[in-house]
A and B are shown apart, each in its own frame.
Chain A
């Protein structure tokens, strides 16, 4: 629980389902085509860890990585 988490979106896999943005709006941003990238440098602020995992497990393209640092 103590580690810091970072989210990352693989741009080659992402197809813009926008599930990540719906489930964790603080952690993801969408471009003009609706494809996602991590907000900022992807660092997950404390308290939002659950949302990061939730986004990962709901991405239909398996495009999201949650990295424990």
Chain B
């Protein structure tokens, strides 16, 4: 065939086609006409002969995917899954939770499409990969475009041989999936990493942070690079069981003590005149707020980083600590530092003591740390009504049992109906932002409402005279019905 092709490329005006080497060469000679016609005729003949004569070759098959013993997703759910993903449905988080709990796997015919979605869907990527299971991993390992979706812990070649960005991505992902493996790999190579890379890697450790990380972080306190040292301090402050926390506790015990006199128990602060090197190593800085009182700055850092249990041991309880008398000069610093420590150490006892003491003025970051049961009681008692629907209200709802108890849903709906009533009365928006933010509160509550809230919402829609709110309530009721349908399919 190559003889015919080279003659065709050159042109029969300048070259004569040769039929040697053609399977149909003998016959080709009998094709009439001028050289161009003969060439085309011979090519047609040879093509037909070759097309008809194709034979199979021999290939070795690669290893098949591991078997996935989990149950296959019910067919109705499988049919809805791609729609839910295409619509980025609010129900997906809950849907995936049920899927994980019941231990379903994706049907084989959806695995490739799911991997394609997982590539672009940051929110549900890990849930999708779990659903796609070993078959998804098998597929991802073969497709270069899907290498970022490979989650098998034995695939550390990216870490050992990848470019910096690939390694950073691997570490970030692995940190979310299996923090221990990520830490083990990082520890192995830490001392040979370049300074700026160490800074980038240590920043990633905020995800999946745990006591097992304290050794490397302690080591990082002696790093040549300031960013690395600072980041290590940031993270260590969140680990109240570490040696670092113990050193901070020791300092706190030296600087602050309880003075017990009859009827006059109080906290007495006694700050040193200068810092030693070990304090500087632990990130207590010598330079900040010099004009505002360097010693209150030191105190703030130590109290923030010392385990809260220090104060419970010293004073008796979190509530007791918040009530104890403190010299005026130090009072504000102590309260701020305790609040910060509560947030950093995610201490539920202190969070709840703060909420009960400060009420509505409680720092927003503290609220979600209060145990869900207490927060629920607080909301239902009516104390939270004034900021239940505001932007700040979101912190109250974080981590509450899902779905919400009906009385919580009822309380939220009643408050929203009040807002709807005001909209209807004034006949105008209370500012576009206000209406919008209320709608969005309703929408984010939608995924948490129990199914039994749908009739309440429909009743609210009937009662309200504002058409926008009418539709908002009706839509959420319909969405809850839809949510019930897609979740029921999983049973």
Q: Are chains A and B native binding partners rather than an unrelated pairing?
A: no
